[in-house]
Amino acid sequence: MSFSLQDKKIILGITGSIAAYKAAELASQLRKRGAEVFPVMTAAAQKFITPLTLQTLSRQPVAADLWDEGNGWQPGHIELADKADLMLVAPATADVIAQFAHGLAHDYLGSMYLVCRAPVLIAPAMNGKMWTHPATVANVATLRSRGVDFIGPEEGMLACGYEGIGRLWPVEGILERVEKVLAK
């Protein structure tokens, strides 16, 4: 039996990985469990999956452009971050992990990360050489030291044709971790 996500507000960050297509299933499953899902896409993510797909599955507008925020007086990324119960980034690329570790806020997702005080869960997906590179290892260690939680990556066949670590953790496993984080 799973923990109810009823009325939990989850920011779903999607970055430029081939695994971005799995964010559609993740958004759908989160909604089925009762969560309100707010997709935030990087420009690179939109090369792999369309905002319309995530908007339809989440029933929320997709945030992607820092310069095209809501209608109110408060900047949209701040308003959304303030009401979040969890910020989930799945898939997360090495680029976004580095952006978060170094406090860069050049896009909607990076700006939201810096404002968000809710727990952050990152599900990496990238080439294994990128994942094990000393720069990525250091960036992950920095984020973990700040309380960011990681799930994965797992081993298997990668989109680049290599076999090894780097695959996005299975959607069901990510959902289980989300439930555990929010049950605390």
Residues tagged active-site: 160
How far is Cα 75 from Cα 17, in angstroms, rounded to an integer?
Answer: 27
| Of 87, 76, 24, 12, the residue nearest 50 (C-alpha) | 24
**Residue 29: left if φ>0, alpha if ψ -120 to 50, beta else—which one?**
alpha
The two beta strands, 163-167 and 154-157, are antiparallel
Structure tokens at 71: 């209608």
Three-state secondary-structure class, residue 17: coil
Given a contact cutoff of 8 angstroms between Cβ atoms, the answer to whether 62 and 32 are in contact is no
13-34 burial, b at 16+ Cβ within 10 Å, e below that, comes to bbbbbbbbebbbebbbbbbebe
How far is Cα 152 from Cα 133, in angstroms, rounded to an integer?
Answer: 16
